[in-house]
Structure 1
Amino acid sequence: MKSIKLRLVATFTLIILLVTAALGAAAIYVVSKDLLSDARDDLRAMAQAQAQYISSENSAQLLYMDGLAQVPAITDSAASLDEKIAYFEAEAKRSGYILFGFADKTGKAVILNSNRETNDVSDRPFFQSAIQGTPTASDLMFSKLDGKPVLVYAAPVYENGQIIGVLYGRRDGLTLSQICENVTYKNTGYGYIVNNEGIKVAHKNTDLVLRQDNDIENGKTDPALAALGALTEQMTTRQRGGGEYTYNGKEKLVEFTPIEGSPWILAMTLETNEVIERTHVLTQMLMLLCMVMAAVGAAVTWLISGSIAKPIKSVTKAAQQIADGDFDVRLSVKSKDELGRLSDAFQLTIQRLVNYQGYIDEISDVLSCVASGDLTVELQREYAGQFKKIKDNLQSMLDNLDSTLLQIHQSADFVDADAEQVSTGAQALSRGATEQASAVEQLSASIEEVTGQIRQNAENARLAQEKAEFAGRELHSSNDHMQEMVAAMGEISFKSSEILKIIKIIEDISFQTNILALNAAVEAARAGQHGKGFAVVADEVRNLAGKSAVAAKDTTALIEQTLAAVENGSRTADVTAKALEASARETTEAVELIDKIAAASQEQAMAIVQINQGVGQISSVVQTNAATAEESAAASQELSEQSALLKGLLAGFKLRQNRISGEQGSAPDFRSADVSD
């Protein structure tokens, strides 16, 4: 939607629609609330009226029964049963009762009709209340005789001021439902009655009465009936009230009130949709009104927006011409409001843009001259606003550029002269560096030869170190073996001493054995012929003992000689061990000296390597200096050429201070000059 006129029309039309729709919705809401409130009031009034009617009807029946209980036919004990039956059958037909019955004080009842049925009503609440002297109407109950729903009205029967029994009459239990069928409101409103337990006792749908439907229990099993169950539970408190609930998918209103003098509560219900259906017509009217208001608003907005859009279009067209470079624009908006002031301001802007175009043309001419090398041009016009800053900055730029180019030309002369000096010095440095490089190479060769000799010395020292270490290890090993031999000889000496002790014991045993053999020979001699064999054995034992003594002496002599030899060997081994130990110490000291010599030789070799590396670095530096000197000479030559080229380029500029082209004389020294401007 590119047109502002259409946008205004659409915007205001939408606003009108929203406002009228909001007002209509509010009106419908208020009307709906009022209708629902009126419906609740009507339902409440009808419920109270019907409750009063049923209460009065109930009271009338109780008065009737109380009067009937006083007729002689029931109070006269002389009256026969046939007389009583005849009277009450006729009364039942006349009054609309199903039957009458009489119960004695124990609850034993007889039906006062031709059937003469008997029954026990002692457990019935109506009997228990009436026998106490109070006329009573029962709740809806089901007959013990035929199982049909009935209503029972009972009154006490007196004789001589004493209660002798209870007279009760039975009416059709669906009588209350017939009353409720006649209680209607609009098309969907009707009444129904529940007792103090929430059970329906009267309803236009008698099936609900017959099956004793209870909405409290229904609400516990069906969530859709929970609201109705809660309202029914509220009814059982016998308080007036009302509310809303959903039944079979339809929203309903309900108002209820207790029926005085009975265990019942009457409720009036109505579908909510029937109440608010009158708002449908109102809704249609409001929708039509919205459409009419929107059409009128659109038409009015179309007319008003035309006077707004026309000046805007004129200004837009002028802006497009300016964007295309056409400043010959005239606006003719005759208005004193904001649009008129906008047009005047835009016309003033156009005039200033024309002036700005003159500024831009002059600046463009000056920049064109500068581009061609003419720095003598100046801005002549008077500038206003931000353009004055542009003029001042541009003029300052021209002055600085003129001064800078002059200084560059003079500096180029100075650079040219210095470049020649640098070139001469670089050539001399290059020759000196070449000579130094030759000397360094000779020194490097000599150092390399010395390095080889030192490395050989270090290698020989390393081999000597290895030989000395090997000899030291062998001496230490021999010393260790000698120590082991000395220890072994000491062990032999110790064991020989032990053997001498054992031989001494053997000598003692041999001596004792010899004595025993002598004693045995003496005893054998005493025995005579019987001891001859024993004497022979004793002689042999004495001979063996003598031989053992001789062997022990010989062994002792040998061991003593061995001990003497071991002692001599031990002394010799000790001397040898001390000599080996001294040799080992000397060898260790020699190895340590050789280690120091080898380490010193290695350090000398490393020092020579570092010296050689330093000489190599000096050679590299000398060569680098030579190359740098050659490069400096070449750079100086190139710098001189670039300086000449720069001076040639500067000759193409026309300066206000001096003309560069054809200027003679030496260039001034700018090395200490302030050229910050």
Structure 2
Amino acid sequence: MTIKKRLARASVGSKLALLVLMLMMAAFTALGLVFSTASKMQVEEGTERALAQQQQQITNTIELFDTTMQSSVTRMLNAFLATIPDNFTLIEDRRLPIGERDAPALLNAGFMLNNQSGYLADFANRTGAPVSFFVRDGEDFVRIATTLKTEDGSSLLGLTLSGGVKDALNAGQPYTGMLYLAGRHYMTRYRPITDFNDNLIGASFIGVDVGEQIDELYATITNIQLHEKDFSLVASTAPGQQGKVLTTGQWQGRSLMDFKNAQGEPAFAPLFAADSGQIDYRLAGEDSDRITSFQHYPAWDWVVATTIDKQEVTAGITQVRNQVFGLALLLALAVAGILYFLERRLISRPLDALVSLAQALARGDLSQRITSQRQDEIGKLTAAMNSVGEDLSRVVGQVRGTTGAVNQAAGEIAQGNEELSARTEQSASSLQETSASMEEITTTVQHSADSAQQASQLVNSTSEQARRGNDDMRKAQASMEDINRSAERISEIISLIDGIAFQTNILALNASVEAARAGEHGRGFAVVAQEVRTLATRSSDASREIRGLIDESISHTQQGVAQVKDASQAMAEILSSVERVNDMIAEISAGAREQSAGVGQVNTAVSELDAMTQQNTTLVNQVSGAARSMSAQAQALEQLMAGFKVAGAQDMATSSMSRQSVSHQSMSHMNTQPMADGEQTAFPPPASAPRGSQRREEEEWEAF
């Protein structure tokens, strides 16, 4: 059985509980999605703000370290220069070899500084800071004295400055900054040297080894994280080393430019296209998105980047959302279960009782009733169904009583017609004997007079029976009219039920329109409204079929009334004919007494009397056929009413069987004659309802 058929066969309570469950699930799901989405957005925004703050804190730490070291190296250079005279002279014409090249001579208070690194050793040994002197040679600055050496101990004499240091000195400005010299990080200070004429002739240098502090700073930056998978790093922006990771960790020494995103493009290229910002990306081969906040520190050619994993940030929100969905499901199931229990008790069970009552009424059992104290719509519907059963029981009882009386009256009419037919045949036999015995005029006249006297008595009796039959016909006509009025009352009740079904259909249509306006949230309610509308349509169709049957019964009843009227007119004609026969017999008696009138007149009278007798026989046969037809119609109507079970049905059935027995006994003694061509009963026996139709009606009640 498909889900659609199962849903169609489900009770109203089950459907309402299922609808409430679906609506609650939809509402809770929508609420959970809104809550989780809003929470996720808030967490992401808060994380991005915290990431930006953390990034700013790292930058501030670097800037504070830079400022502190610059102040320290500046003080140390000033302290170094304070130990020597501020008297420098450049001898451009005197060039001395230095390293792999030569350079002009630079003197300090007459002391030659070229190749005199030992002159600086005392201060370097005391402070641990290397110092140097540079002489200006054109636009270059050549190192002529220094305590700075490479890692293998080689001298740096003869090397020239380049980049920002050279530019600052040529502009007459000191330069302070961190440089990577001889394999170590130094915070350096370069200061221009001028002669007495303020001509730029050289530069002094001092460096503070900050390698350990830089390593500690790298470690500090690496350990800064908001979540387990977060990490921070420092990469170089210097030409030739752009993207190289300087901090410790799994990416140390690797270039950020080697990492690709899911689209196959360099994932960290935006870090070197702007001074600061954030980028969203997913590395190739990974299943989670990342956010990296970055900021440049131009003084050191650094870019500081902090990265977080989006999935890790929203993991808590996802867990809470799943828990909310689980609790919502449990709550929805609990509410639906309680609602199902209440609806089954307050709606489904009363409706099942009403369905059973309607099925009993459909089977003809009009004795069933439902006791209910409710005052709501179901209570009103129960009262209406009980009222329908009572009205139908009263109508069926009245029809049963009327059909019994009609059947009895038809039996009496048939019995009277039997006597009339016998006497009419006897009169015809007497007339034949009279015609054969015309030769014995005296005996024939006397016999004719006696026969005429007897015929007069018989005709009088027949006239009296015909009058009683006419009165019974009028009573039968009145009873049939009462049946007609009762059937019209039933038709009005069916029309009322049809109107209720029409109003229900209108309400269901309005509910469907309102559900369509509600959009997706009203789809389940639209399905229920369509089912209600379908049921209302079925109820309307059923009421129209019942009204058709009632209208057909009214039509048959009206035909019966018309035929009873015809029978009454026939009885009147019989009565008139009997009176005419009586007059004729009187004339025969007068003719017998006036024998002298002649045999010819007697023969003429006998012939006329024979013709009238034959006509009377034909009329009596016609009345007998009408009586049989009326009796058959009454029996058919009684059988139709016997299909209904009402209170007190046993007594009514017993009396009906007694009347039917009397009718059959009366009919069995009749001298039946063939009915005229084309005659048939006005009420044929009712055909049994097809099983398919009955089964279809039961299925419709069950679906309701």
TM-score calculated relative to the size of structure 1:
0.48
- Tell which structure's C-alpha radius of gyration is larger: 1
